[in-house]
Homo-oligomer: A and B are copies of this chain.
Amino acid sequence: MARKVGSVGTETADKVRQTALLLFARHGYAAVSMRQIARQIDLQAGAIYNHFPTKQQLLRDLLVSHMERLLAAWDAEGVEGLPAGEALVAFVRFHLRYHTQCGEEVFISYMELRNLEEENFLDIEALRKRYEKGLQDILERGVADGTFRISDPRVTTMALIAMLTGVTNWYRSNGRLSLGEIEALYVGMISGTVGLKEV
């Protein structure tokens, strides 16, 4: 009835996070119950509430921490000094690598926005905007110095992100194409999209 021997708070919280992520990604937030999450990690449903005050907060937590990790990873790439063309290539490769490797984790941030309550939605939205801004800055830089030929950088930003993220719908690690080959294909296509002369 009490703490299991050896159980530690952060470990359980992490297991909840991982399991919830997986299940939310697989079946959707609304279709997954707290009981289901708990069952998978051999816990009573009520115990989850020692770590997350509500199911909604658990979702928010997942999305926030995903976006923050994503932003941190992108910042770590350090492309700021690069010429626009190289920076764009770096972004494409980064986004594909990150989103195919995080696998399902990524899925839900695009999927479950409608299940967020107002305030949580705005927070996540802000983080997503910040990430998109990274790409948009590169595009605008390239337009300014003549590297790219783009009519509307905002629209192109969203078009490219949609195009790239779509990969998660069909990518399989053991599929016909390796990640490297996929990266090359997308670099090629996107170079065309933005009117880049050579890559």
Which residue in B152, B161, B177, B184 is a CB contact (below 8 Å) of A166? B161
In the complex, residue of chain B having the shortest beta-carbon distance to the beta carbon of A154? B176
| CB <8 Å contact, A162 and B166 | yes
The secondary structure that dominates the A interface is: helix
Q: How far is A190 from B169 in the complex, measured between Cα atoms in Å?
A: 20
Count identical subunits in the complex.
Answer: 4
Which residue in B151, B170, B182, B185 is a CB contact (below 8 Å) of A188? B151
Instruction: Output the least CB separation between A2 and chain B (Å).
Output: 9
A-B contact pairs, 24 of them (CB 8 A): A26-B114, A28-B30, A28-B114, A30-B30, A30-B31, A31-B115, A151-B184, A151-B188, A152-B185, A155-B177, A155-B182, A155-B185, A156-B185, A156-B189, A158-B166, A158-B167, A158-B170, A159-B186, A162-B165, A163-B163, A166-B166, A190-B193, A192-B194, A192-B195
